[in-house]
A and B are shown apart, each in its own frame.
Chain A
Amino acid sequence: MSNKKNQSDKILLDVKGLKKHFPIKRGILFSKQVGATKAVDGLDLFVREGETLGMVGESGCGKSTTGRLILRLIEPTAGQVTFDGTDLLKLNKSEMRVMRKKLQMVFQNPYASLDPRMTVGDIIAEPLRVHKVFSSSSDMKKRVRELLDCVGLNPAYTERYPHEFSGGQRQRIGIARALALNPKLIIADEPVSALDVSVQAQVLNLLNDLQGEFGLTYIFIAHNLSTVNHISDRVAVMYLGKVVELTENTKLYANPKHPYTQALMSAVPEADPTVMRGENRRQRIVLEGDIPSPQNPPSGCRFHTRCWEVMDVCKTQEPPLVDTGNSHYVACHLYPAAAGETPLKTA
Chain B
Amino acid sequence: MAEDVLLRVKDLATHFKTEEGIVKAVDGVDFEVRRGEVLGVVGESGCGKSMTSMSILRLVPKPQGQIVRGELMFDGQDLLKLSEDEMRKIRGNSISLISQDPMTSLNPVLTVGEQIMEAIQLHQGLDKQAAKNKAIEMLRKVGIPSPEERVDQYPHQFSGGMRQRAIIAMALSCEPKLLIADEPTTALDVTIQAQILDLMREIKEKENAGIIFITHDMGVVAEMCDFVCVMYAGKVVEAADVFTLFKTPAHPYTEGLLKSIPRLDDVKERLDPIDGQPPSLSKLPPGCSFAARCPEAQDICRKQEPELKQVGVNQFARCLMRDEWKAEAEA
A residues touching B (Cβ–Cβ < 8 Å)?
1, 3, 58-59, 166, 168-169, 196-202, 204-205, 208, 223, 225-227, 229-231, 249-250, 253, 263-277, 284, 286-287, 290-291
Q: Cβ of B256: which chain A residues have Cβ within 8 Å of it?
A: 198
Q: Complex Cα distance A276/B195, Å?
A: 15
B261 interfacial contact with A, CB 8 Å = yes
Q: Cβ of B277: which chain A residues have Cβ within 8 Å of it?
A: 166, 168-169, 196, 198-199
Q: Complex Cα distance A42/B256, Å?
A: 42
B216 interfacial contact with A, CB 8 Å = yes
Let me know if A286 and B195 touch, CB within 8 A: yes
B297 interfacial contact with A, CB 8 Å = no
Q: Complex Cα distance A227/B267, Å?
A: 10
Q: Complex Cα distance A266/B191, Å?
A: 9
Q: Cβ of A223: which chain B residues have Cβ within 8 Å of it?
A: 189-190
Give me 9 other A-B pairs in contact (C-beta within 8 A), A205-B273, A275-B265 excluded: A197-B260, A198-B257, A205-B270, A208-B269, A226-B261, A226-B264, A253-B264, A269-B222, A271-B218
Let me know if B243 and A274 touch, CB within 8 A: yes
Q: Cβ of A3: which chain B residues have Cβ within 8 Å of it?
A: 269
Let me know if B262 and A230 touch, CB within 8 A: yes
Q: How far is the CB of A255 from chain B (nearest CB, A)?
A: 13
Q: How far is the CB of A84 from chain B (nearest CB, A)?
A: 28
Interface string of B193-213 (1 = CB under 8 A from A): 111011000000000000000
Let me know if A1 and B267 touch, CB within 8 A: yes
Chain B, Cβ-Cβ closest to A167: B277
Let me know if B191 and A287 touch, CB within 8 A: yes
Chain A, Cβ-Cβ closest to B143: A288
Q: Cβ of B264: which chain A residues have Cβ within 8 Å of it?
A: 225-226, 229, 253, 265, 268, 270
- For chain B, residues 30 to 59, give those with C-beta under 8 angstroms from any C-beta of chain A: 44-45
B17 interfacial contact with A, CB 8 Å = no
Q: Cβ of B154: which chain A residues have Cβ within 8 Å of it?
A: none
Let me know if A229 and B267 touch, CB within 8 A: yes
Let me know if A208 and B194 touch, CB within 8 A: no
Let me know if A263 and B191 touch, CB within 8 A: yes
Chain A, Cβ-Cβ closest to B275: A202
B20 interfacial contact with A, CB 8 Å = no
A selection of 19 A-B contacts at a CB cut-off of 8 Å is A197-B261, A198-B256, A198-B274, A198-B277, A199-B273, A201-B271, A204-B262, A229-B262, A230-B263, A267-B194, A270-B222, A271-B261, A272-B222, A272-B246, A274-B243, A275-B222, A276-B219, A284-B194, A287-B195
Number of chain B residues whose Cβ lies closer than 8 Å to a Cβ of chain A: 46
B220 interfacial contact with A, CB 8 Å = yes
Q: Cβ of B194: which chain A residues have Cβ within 8 Å of it?
A: 266-267, 284, 286-287
B90 interfacial contact with A, CB 8 Å = no
Specify which of B190, B263, B267, B271 is in contact with A204 (CB 8 Å cutoff).
B271
Specify which of B198, B221, B272 is in contact with A271 (CB 8 Å cutoff).
B221
Please judge, given known A-B contacts A58-B190, A197-B216, whether A270 and B260 are in contact too, CB under 8 Å. no
B242 interfacial contact with A, CB 8 Å = yes
Q: Complex Cα distance A201/B271, Å?
A: 6
Chain A, Cβ-Cβ closest to B46: A196
Chain B, Cβ-Cβ closest to A200: B260
Let me know if B265 and A270 touch, CB within 8 A: yes
Let me know if B243 and A273 touch, CB within 8 A: yes
Specify which of B195, B219, B275 is in contact with A269 (CB 8 Å cutoff).
B219
B147 interfacial contact with A, CB 8 Å = no
Chain A, Cβ-Cβ closest to B162: A290
Let me know if B219 and A268 touch, CB within 8 A: yes
Q: Cβ of B222: which chain A residues have Cβ within 8 Å of it?
A: 269-273, 275-277
Q: Cβ of A287: which chain B residues have Cβ within 8 Å of it?
A: 191, 194-195
Q: Complex Cα distance A88/B192, Å?
A: 37
Please judge, given known A-B contacts A198-B260, A267-B191, whether A276 and B223 are in contact too, CB under 8 Å. yes
- For chain B, residues 246 to 304, give those with C-beta under 8 angstroms from any C-beta of chain A: 246, 256-265, 267-275, 277-278
B161 interfacial contact with A, CB 8 Å = yes
B159 interfacial contact with A, CB 8 Å = yes
Q: Cβ of B273: which chain A residues have Cβ within 8 Å of it?
A: 198-202, 205
Q: Complex Cα distance A276/B201, Å?
A: 12
Let me know if A230 and B190 touch, CB within 8 A: no
Let me know if A277 and B191 touch, CB within 8 A: no
Chain A, Cβ-Cβ closest to B45: A196
Q: Cβ of B278: which chain A residues have Cβ within 8 Å of it?
A: 196
Let me know if B191 and A201 touch, CB within 8 A: no
Q: Cβ of A225: which chain B residues have Cβ within 8 Å of it?
A: 190, 264
B217 interfacial contact with A, CB 8 Å = yes
Specify which of A230, A263, A269, A290 is in contact with B267 (CB 8 Å cutoff).
A230
Q: Complex Cα distance A268/B192, Å?
A: 11
Q: Complex Cα distance A169/B276, Å?
A: 10
Let me know if A269 and B217 touch, CB within 8 A: yes
Q: Cβ of B221: which chain A residues have Cβ within 8 Å of it?
A: 271
Q: Complex Cα distance A253/B268, Å?
A: 13
Q: Complex Cα distance A272/B217, Å?
A: 12
Q: Complex Cα distance A272/B263, Å?
A: 10
Q: Cβ of B274: which chain A residues have Cβ within 8 Å of it?
A: 198, 201
